[in-house]
């Protein structure tokens, strides 16, 4: 916590008619209370901002908006007039203060702003929802009656709306809009904002916000309903995808072992040089996919190849911020692969072939190892392959790489990863593994069902009752 003074706003709301149910408290960085206001009409304080020594608070359930001088503790009303509805958002910078007015107003004034040096000269606009100020410009998101989201650019010097743009949202969602209290962040010329996207068949549930579980008579809990965004950067979707990959690949490998009991397994790792931005990452991943296809077609590779599972992983280098893109490949080969120079490929051979396939002017890092156990026990052999399966099926991107708590850095990483991973197939099967995937009637890992990841569906007789868990955006967790 940085040194300085902080304002806390508390309210105890028993009835919407209750007045003077809250108070402001000023504390220092150690948590020590420095001052306390008299009772205020603070029905659900919802948004607060501060600039220099001035703090501003707006309330959701009352029409009270306040300015607090952090030096003196003096509290003043900043209401545009006394007959306004409640507010959701307030923002300030060194020059301006701006807040929204919710509800239907007869005069149509839904946003109030003023220059900090002229607090009595308040102006208004008819657009509002969530606000971000950048110098003399404000960026404002709105949702129209049809729940279509727009973003507006406003010149605060003269009050002109410079532009209004409809937000481009996924076509598969018939109804889209803004969340209740969305946040806007401006960084290096880009605006970042949150958008609700709700599937047509389930308009009551934002993606992943509500989860429904079936509970068996034995107390076992199984996910029954959810709505997933399937974004490559969504931690929840990646968790479900990883489960699905692991379960599907285990089934495929077990069937391949049944069909080809004498086959051998290899674990191959292919890398290229790191890149430093989203555009370079996008290009590198495309070239790697093409290079891998060439590698699998080389005669000495193909002659003993039964099948493969390939997964692509991207990690972030904490030291220089670069992106390391590499492939984990589980290979199934004929047993004669290890017999004679005409069949066997050493690590140097794999390195040379990968360099050739990628047309590289440097020697890449390549690692190859046999999946084996000291004891030739069939049960242990499958266990060893399972370790390789789990390594191959793991997360394509770790959320710890872009949810570090450093907002500026995280936004840059997310921007690069979104650009680099766009429309990329991060996992693929080939040869017999691909055929078995089809034989087992397994759906697509990337675009398939993320609810029944193990393809198991409970019978109605097995279900004792169901529970619903809803995400709490403030406490950052699910609650039943």
**Window from 148-162, 261-275, 436-450, 465-479 with minimum mean pLDDT:** 465-479
Q: How confident is the model at residue 98 (pLDDT cuts 50, 70, 90)?
A: confident
Task: Give the neighbor-by-neighbor strand order of the sheet with 33-36.
Answer: 5-11, 22-28, 33-36
Residue 30, pLDDT score: 65
More confident: 361 or 38: 361
Three-state helix/strand/coil letters over the chain: CCCCEEEEEEECCCCCCCCCCEEEEEEECCCCEEEECCCECCCCEEEEEEECCEEEEEECCCCCEEEEECCCCCEEECCCCCCCCCCCCEEECCCEEEEECCCCCCCCCCEEEEECCCCCCCEEECCCCEEEEECCEEEEEEECCCCCEEEEEEECCCCEEEEEEECCCCCCCCEEECCCCCCEEEECCEEEECCEEECCCCCCCCCCCEEEEEEECCCCEEEEECCCCCCCCCHHHHHHHHHHHHHHHHHHHHHHHHHCCCCEEEEEEEECCCECCHHHHHHHHHHHHHHHHHHHHCHHHHCCEEEEEEEEEEEECCCCCCEEEEEEEEEEECHHHHCCCCCCCCHHHHHHHHHHHHCCCCCCCEEEEECCCCCCCHHHHHHHHHHHHHHHCCCCECHHHCCCCCHHHHHHHHHHHHHHHCCCCCEEEEEHHHHHHHHCCCCCCCCCCCCCCCCCCCCHHHEEEEEEEEEECCCCEEEC
More confident: 381 or 316: 316
More confident: 130 or 260: 260
Average pLDDT estimate for 348-361: 97
Q: How far apart are CA 17 and CA 197, in angstroms?
A: 35
pLDDT digits (tens, 9 = 90+) for 88-97: 677 777 777 7
Domains and CATH numbers, the chain: 5-195 (2.120.10.30), 205-228+458-480 (no CATH), 232-450 (no CATH)
Residue 450, pLDDT score: 77
Contact 478, 229 (CB under 8 A): no
Average pLDDT estimate for 69-91: 69
State yes or no: pLDDT of 145 exceeds 50.
Answer: no
More confident: 21 or 200: 21
Contact 398, 417 (CB under 8 A): no
pLDDT digits (tens, 9 = 90+) for 359-379: 999 999 999 999 875 444 454
State yes or no: pLDDT of 461 exceeds 90.
Answer: no
Q: How confident is the model at residue 99 (pLDDT cuts 50, 70, 90)?
A: confident
Residue 309, pLDDT score: 94
State yes or no: pLDDT of 278 exceeds 90.
Answer: yes
Average pLDDT estimate for 280-287: 96
State yes or no: pLDDT of 171 exceeds 80.
Answer: no
What sign does the dihedral 62-63-68-74 (CA atoms) show? negative
Q: How confident is the model at residue 294 (pLDDT cuts 50, 70, 90)?
A: very high
pLDDT digits (tens, 9 = 90+) for 382-423: 467 778 887 777 778 888 888 887 777 888 898 899 999 988
Residue 178, pLDDT score: 44
**Mean pLDDT across the chain:** 75
More confident: 197 or 283: 283
Share of the chain above pLDDT 90, in %: 29
Q: How far apart are CA 197 and CA 212, in angstroms?
A: 19
Residue 108, pLDDT score: 44
Contacts of 145 (CB under 8 A, 6+ apart): none
Q: How far apart are CA 217 and CA 205, in angstroms?
A: 27
> Which residues are paired to 125 by β-bridges?
111
Residue 1, pLDDT score: 40
Contact 469, 460 (CB under 8 A): no
Average pLDDT estimate for 283-305: 97
Residue 244, pLDDT score: 86
Residue in 289, 310, 336, 334 with CA at minimum distance from that of residue 434? 310
Q: How confident is the model at residue 241 (pLDDT cuts 50, 70, 90)?
A: confident
Average pLDDT estimate for 275-297: 96
Average pLDDT estimate for 242-246: 86
pLDDT digits (tens, 9 = 90+) for 301-316: 999 999 999 999 999 9
Does the pTM surpass 0.75? The reply is no
State yes or no: pLDDT of 180 exceeds 90.
Answer: no
More confident: 64 or 402: 402
Average pLDDT estimate for 265-284: 96
**Tokens found for residue 368:** 């190859």
Residue in 282, 266, 434, 261 with CA at minimum distance from that of residue 344? 266
Q: How confident is the model at residue 290 (pLDDT cuts 50, 70, 90)?
A: very high
Q: How far apart are CA 470 and CA 208, in angstroms?
A: 9
Residue whose structure tokens are 């406003």 = 154
State yes or no: pLDDT of 188 exceeds 60.
Answer: no
Residue 153: how many other CB atoms lie within 10 Å: 16
More confident: 315 or 180: 315
16-to-43, 63, 145, 317 alpha-carbon distances in Å:
7, 11, 26, 52
More confident: 337 or 445: 337
What sign does the dihedral 390-279-287-356 (CA atoms) show? negative
Residue 182, pLDDT score: 47
State yes or no: pLDDT of 455 exceeds 90.
Answer: no
State yes or no: pLDDT of 120 exceeds 50.
Answer: yes
């Amino acid at each position: 916590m940085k040194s300085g003074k902080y304002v806390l706003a508390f309210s105890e709301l028993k009835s919407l008619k209750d007045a003077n149910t809250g108070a402001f408290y000023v504390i220092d960085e150690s948590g020590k209370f420095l001052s306390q206001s008299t009772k205020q009409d603070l029905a659900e304080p919802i948004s607060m901002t501060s600039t220099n020594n001035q703090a501003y608070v707006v309330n959701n359930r009352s029409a009270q908006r306040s300015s607090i001088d952090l030096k003196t503790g003096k509290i003043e009303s900043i209401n545009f007039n006394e007959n306004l509805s409640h507010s959701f958002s307030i923002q300030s910078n060194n020059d301006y203060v701006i807040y929204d007015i919710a509800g239907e107003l007869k005069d149509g004034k839904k946003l109030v702003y003023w220059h900090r040096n002229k607090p009595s000269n308040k102006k208004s606009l008819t657009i509002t929802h969530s606000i971000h100020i950048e110098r003399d410009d404000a960026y404002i998101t709105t949702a129209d009656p049809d729940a279509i989201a727009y973003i507006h650019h406003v010149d605060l010097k003269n009050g002109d709306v410079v532009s209004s743009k409809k937000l481009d949202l996924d076509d598969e969602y018939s109804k889209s809009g803004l969340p209740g209290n969305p946040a806007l962040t401006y960084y290096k010329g880009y605006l970042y904002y949150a958008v609700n996207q709700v599937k047509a068949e389930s308009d009551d549930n934002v993606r992943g916000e509500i989860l429904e579980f079936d509970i068996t008579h034995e107390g076992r809990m199984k996910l029954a309903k959810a709505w997933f965004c399937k974004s490559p950067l969504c931690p929840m979707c990646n968790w479900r995808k990883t489960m699905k990959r692991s379960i599907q690949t285990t089934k495929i490998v077990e069937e391949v072992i049944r069909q080809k009991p004498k086959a051998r397994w290899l674990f191959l790792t292919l890398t290229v040089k790191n890149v430093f931005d989203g555009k370079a990452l996008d290009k590198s991943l495309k070239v790697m996919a093409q290079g891998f296809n060439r590698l699998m077609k080389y005669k000495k590779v193909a002659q003993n190849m039964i099948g493969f599972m390939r997964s692509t992983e991207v990690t972030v280098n904490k030291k220089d911020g670069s992106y390391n893109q590499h492939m984990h490949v589980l290979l199934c080969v004929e047993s004669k692969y290890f017999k004679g120079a005409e069949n066997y490929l050493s690590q140097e051979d794999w390195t040379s072939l990968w360099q050739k396939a990628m047309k590289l002017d440097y020697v890449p890092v390549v690692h190859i190892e046999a999946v084996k156990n000291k004891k030739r026990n069939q049960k242990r052999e499958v266990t060893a392959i399972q370790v390789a399966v789990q390594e191959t099926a793991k997360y394509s991107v770790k959320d710890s790489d872009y949810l570090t708590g450093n907002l500026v850095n995280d936004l840059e990483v997310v921007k690069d990863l979104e650009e680099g991973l766009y429309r990329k197939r991060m996992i693929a099967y080939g040869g017999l593994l691909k055929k078995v995937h089809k034989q087992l009637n397994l759906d697509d890992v990337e675009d398939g069902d993320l609810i029944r990841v193990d393809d198991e569906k409970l019978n109605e007789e097995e279900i004792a009752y169901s529970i619903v868990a809803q995400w709490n955006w403030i406490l950052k967790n699910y609650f039943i």
